[in-house]
Amino acid sequence: MQSVLLVIHILVVVALIGVVLLQRSEGGALGTGGGTGSFMTGRGQANALSRATAILGALFFATALLMSILSSWNRAPHSILERGPAPAGQTAPTPVTPGNILDQLKKMEGQSGAPSVPPAAPAPAAPAAPSAPAPKP
């Protein structure tokens, strides 16, 4: 039901955008390209487009309200004040301490007992300095 209502809502939104863009404005709009021979001219166009905008706007609000009502039916009421203590198997989260993130990770690693990352290999020895070039004869 919710997915059908969502599709209808999206179709109404797209149609509403199109109708609003077709309306005549002070600075011109997308609908100003018609000549004298079109069937929607002058007063008839303004009446039809304004009526379509009002109907699509009402449909938009109705579908939005219905979607919010349907989503609230699935929600169970709860209060954070009435929650009991945490279950015995669950531990409390570690408080955040100020400082560098690396310091916090090292502290957490020390608390767990076993390091999660193997120690790094020793750095390679520095290359020997180049010797002086041989003299040319």
Which residue segment(s) compose the domain that 49 sits in?
A: 2-25+44-73
pLDDT at residue 128 in the model: 67
Q: Is residue 19 part of a domain?
A: yes
Rounded Cα distance between 74 and 78, Å, is: 13
Query: Is 80 exceeded by the pLDDT of residue 80?
Result: no
90-121: per-residue pLDDT in tens?
Answer: 666 666 556 677 777 888 887 765 555 555 66
Q: Is residue 67 part of a domain?
A: yes
pLDDT at residue 111 in the model: 74
- CA-based max dimension of the chain: 104
24-75: per-residue pLDDT in tens?
Answer: 765 554 555 555 545 555 556 678 888 999 999 999 999 999 999 988 887 7
Q: Is residue 112 part of a domain?
A: no
Q: Write down the residue that tokens 């310091």 correspond to.
A: 103
Q: Is residue 106 part of a domain?
A: no
Total domains present in the chain: 1
Mean pLDDT of the chain: 75
pTM of the model: 0.45
Cβ-contact 12, 56 below 8 angstroms: yes
DSSP letter assigned to residue 128? P
